[in-house]
Amino acid sequence: MEAIQQDMEPFWTEMNALRSVISTTDVDPACRGACKKALEANACGSNPWQNPHLEGPRAEALEYLRKEKEGYMTTNILYQFWIQEASKNRKLCESKQLAKQVDETKSKYADFEKQEAKLREELKYAKEQQKELQSMQKKELKKQKNNLGKKCTKMKS
């Protein structure tokens, strides 16, 4: 692109000189007409790209710009795919983490249920033991009352 700009520099200098000659009022009309003809011949109007000797560089520049645009578009599409893939991976990772947390919570809950069942059994056994001990205590108290009563009757007699 810089090479094209450097090639165009003398052209633009000549064009500007011709335009300045045409625009001045104190120039001979014949000279002004010649400058206009030279300007039209060199520039094909005001568009320098209409010159036949500039068609090659123009086509080259346009092709470069087209390829650059394609490259940016391809890069943009690739980034969009990358973003989509990254969001899918993030969602998948989050779901795996949640599943892991659910499994851990389930295992803790199962452990608590086992512990609860064990404690309930121990409580049931302790209540049975308590009932047995209370019945034994009552029997023992009756025996002691009977023995004490017998001793008291013996002592009285």
| Confidence tier at 107 by pLDDT (50, 70, 90) | very high
CA distance 85 to 78: 10
Contact residues for 3 (Cβ-Cβ < 8 A; gap 6+):
57
Q: What are phi and psi of 47, to 5 degrees?
A: -100, 110
| Confidence tier at 149 by pLDDT (50, 70, 90) | confident
Residue 37 pLDDT greater than 80, yes or no: no
pTM of the predicted model as reported, rounded to 2 decimal places: 0.40
pLDDT of residue 83: 96
Residue 153 pLDDT greater than 80, yes or no: no
Is the Cα dihedral 136, 140, 143, 149 positive or negative?
negative
Q: How far is CA 105 from the centre of its chain?
A: 28
